[in-house]
Amino acid sequence: MEELSESSPALAFEKEAFELTVEDVYDISYVIGRDLLKISTTGEEVSDLQFKIVRVLEMFETLVNKYNLSLEELKMERDNLKSELDRIVRESSAGQEAQTLGPNKLVVDLKDPNRPRFTMQELKEVLQERNQLKAQLLVAQEELQLYKSGMLPQGEQAMVEVDLVSPSPSKPVPDTTDETKEEPNEGMTTIRKLFSFRRK
């Protein structure tokens, strides 16, 4: 009991096996040696046991020492590998475009909300639709204007057209002036229908 309250050497017995240092082994040896002294007066057998205990403690010392050294080495090795890994990751992300990708490739950050997502074809279609709707709006506005100003005589329908036949490079248009007037597109007929319906 009193040994424990003396703080230092006896506390080594409380420790976890893998936390022991060589100093702890010395503390343990000190405590065991001191206890052995108390009973050593009895004779041969005790001193023989004492010798064996010293031998075991020496082996223990070696093992603890070796274990701690290995642990230290492994920790250092781990830290080295960790920093090496960090370096490689950093380098590869910096030089990725040049190394792993061809000269005409683009790296896209998938977390970027503004990353490119749509194809040229999709954009083309959206723009065509936008322009078509815009043209139809212009046509409707113009017809409405004519209608309001009373320029549309009864029974006669104004024909306001905007040619927005989507251009296709593969199919050359021979005469662009004519084609528009001859084939009005769907939207305009709808608008015209609407107007003639209201007139009745």
Partner 1 sequence: MAKKTYDLLFKLLLIGDSGVGKTCVLFRFSDDAFNTTFISTIGIDFKIKTVELQGKKIKLQIWDTAGQERFHTITTSYYRGAMGIMLVYDITNAKSFENISKWLRNIDEHANEDVERMLLGNKCDMEDKRVVPKAKGEQIAREHGIRFFETSAKANISIEKAFLTLAEDILRKTPVKEPNSENVDISGGSGVTGWKSKCCS
> Which residue ranges make up the site for partner 1 (CB under 8 A)?
120, 123-124, 127, 131, 134-135, 138, 142, 146, 156-163, 167-169, 172-173, 176-177, 180-181
42 or 177: whose CB is closer to partner 1?
177
C-beta pairs of 142-146 under 8 Å, 24+ apart in sequence: 143/191, 143/192, 143/195
5 or 121: whose CB is closer to partner 1?
121
43 or 172: whose CB is closer to partner 1?
172
Least distance in angstroms from the C-beta of 102 to partner 1: 18
The single residue listed with the structure tokens 């209201």 is 198
Least distance in angstroms from the C-beta of 109 to partner 1: 18
Whether the Cβ atoms of residue 128 and residue 166 lie closer than 8 Å to each other: yes
DSSP string computed for 11-68: GGGGS-GGG--HHHHHHHHHHHHHHHHHHGGG-HHHHHHHHHHHHHHHHHHHHHHHHH
54 or 158: whose CB is closer to partner 1?
158
Least distance in angstroms from the C-beta of 183 to partner 1: 13
Between CA 133 and CA 110 the distance in angstroms is 33
Least distance in angstroms from the C-beta of 95 to partner 1: 25
Least distance in angstroms from the C-beta of 193 to partner 1: 14
Between CA 161 and CA 136 the distance in angstroms is 9
Q: If you ran DSSP here, which 8-state letter would residue 17 be given?
A: G
91 or 183: whose CB is closer to partner 1?
183
Report CA torsion sign: 138, 143, 148, 151. Answer: positive
58 or 179: whose CB is closer to partner 1?
179
Least distance in angstroms from the C-beta of 86 to partner 1: 36
Buried residues in 94-120 as b, exposed as e (16+ CB within 10 A): eeeeeeeeeeeeeeeeeeeeeeeeeee
